[in-house]
């Protein structure tokens, strides 16, 4: 089951990306020679109009083969075929080629927004309330010691009514080292009074009491509002994940440059496979969330200004726009080859890191 879900996720991610390139190329009047599902060798293909639509042996993702995608001096373009004048990728204006290159990334972002939007539509829209609830409890913390439970609502601290997260944090920090009276509501009507002492020097990330709190609840709105509200939250969620992924990439590059190794918490193909299995056990909505996260990740990776990626090709377009001439095909090919070698080496390091982490477990 994990393998099937893993293949399905990768196929959807890459297929949607390539579909973006395909649609943008068609719109720009570029001849699409082949649009394939999976990786060759080809199992089945049918030519419709000028494009071959194929199904290939390895059912992971897809590809688009554009006429004239290689540098203009290559054998494929040299001497444009009759009836194909102006149909080659490299014959199109820079803005149209840029649109084709950005289309894959755009489709991945849209896929992520749709995935997150569906989750918010099903679970509800995050809405602020005046109820401060316990949403996490650290091991061996004062909160665990006195029996606090998830979803307990904090009503008051030492008689001071609590209606915001900030109030609770401020009071628990002020009273560090002193016993406090905590009034909580469990369930609908079970009020409890607990006594505990906030820590002066808690472990990093735990806070004086060792609890995670929130005043946000998932709220359902009328059915006709939910699609729009879900899309809004899905967009915000995509941006949030994008920021986290960029921070992780920065951390990875810094570690490689300063320590010559990949951070332990970075996951490659093996790690993604493992997480896929965990998501599959939690049901289709968990898989959908994971799909959204990976789709944002794929979009960001592809837009990076690295050779062999869409972002790297955009850099060459920028050079062409500034220099008003196409880059030397041989130099471009060498740079792309070196870029691909770097990416493969990085993927190998991350995969080795995945394997060592699994062995340690």
Active site residues: 18
Give the H/E segment covering residue 287: helix 284-303
Supply 150's token pair.
């998830």
Label residue 47 left, alpha or beta by phi (over 0 means left) and psi (-120 to 50 means alpha).
beta
Of 33, 34, 69, the closest CA to residue 54 belongs to 34
**Residue owning tokens 């001849």:** 31
Handedness of CA 114, 115, 121, 124 (dihedral sign): negative
CA dihedral 335, 341, 345, 346 (to 10 degrees): 40
**Residue owning tokens 């569906």:** 118
Instruction: Give dist(CA 277, CA 3) in Å, integer.
Output: 8
Phi, psi angles (nearest 5°) of residue 61: 80, -140
* H-type alpha helices, 260-328: 269-281, 284-303, 310-323
For residue 47, what are the β-bridge partners?
52
How far is CA 138 from its chain centroid? 27
Interaxial angle between packed helices 94-123 and 2-28, expressed in degrees from 0 to 180 and rounded to the nearest 10: 140
Instruction: Give dist(CA 30, CA 166) in Å, integer.
Output: 57
CB 336 within 8 A of CB 308: yes
CB 42 within 8 A of CB 10: no
What residues contact residue 188 under an 8 Å CB cut-off, 6+ apart? none
């Amino acid at each position: 089951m994990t393998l099937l879900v893993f293949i399905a996720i990768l196929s959807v991610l890459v297929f949607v990306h390539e579909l973006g390139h395909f649609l943008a190329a068609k719109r720009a009047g570029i001849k699409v020679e082949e649009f394939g599902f999976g990786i060759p060798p080809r199992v089945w293909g049918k030519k419709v109009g000028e494009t071959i639509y194929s199904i290939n042996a390895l059912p992971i993702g897809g590809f688009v083969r554009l006429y004239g995608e290689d540098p203009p001096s290559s054998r494929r373009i040299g001497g444009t075929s009759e009836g194909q004048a102006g149909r080659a990728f490299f014959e199109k204006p820079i803005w149209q080629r840029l649109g084709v290159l950005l289309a894959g990334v755009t489709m991945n972002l849209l896929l992520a927004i749709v995935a997150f939007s569906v989750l918010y539509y099903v679970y509800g829209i995050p809405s602020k309330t005046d109820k401060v609830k316990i949403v996490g409890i650290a091991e061996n913390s004062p909160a665990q010691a006195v029996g606090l439970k998830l979803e307990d609502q904090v009503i008051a601290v030492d008689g001071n009514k609590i209606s915001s997260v900030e109030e609770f944090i401020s009071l628990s920090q002020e009273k560090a080292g002193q016993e406090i009276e905590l009034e909580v509501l469990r369930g609908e009507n079970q009020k409890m009074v607990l006594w505990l002492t906030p820590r002066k020097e808690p472990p990093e990330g735990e806070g004086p009491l060792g609890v995670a709190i929130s005043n946000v609840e998932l709220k359902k709105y009328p059915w006709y509002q939910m699609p729009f509200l879900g899309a809004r939250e899905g967009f915000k969620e995509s941006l949030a994940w994008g920021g986290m992924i960029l921070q992780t990439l920065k951390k990875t590059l810094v570690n490689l440059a300063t320590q010559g190794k990949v951070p332990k918490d970075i996951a490659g193909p093996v790690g993604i496979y493992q997480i896929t299995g965990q998501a599959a056990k939690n049901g289709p909505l968990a898989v959908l969330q994971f799909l959204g996260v990976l789709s944002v990740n794929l979009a960001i990776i592809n837009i990076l200004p690295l050779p062999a990626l869409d972002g790297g090709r955009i850099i060459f377009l920028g050079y062409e726009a500034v220099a008003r001439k196409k880059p030397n095909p041989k130099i471009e090919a060498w740079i792309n080859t070196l870029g691909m070698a770097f990416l493969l080496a990085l993927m190998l390091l991350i995969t080795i890191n995945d394997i060592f982490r699994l062995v340690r477990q």
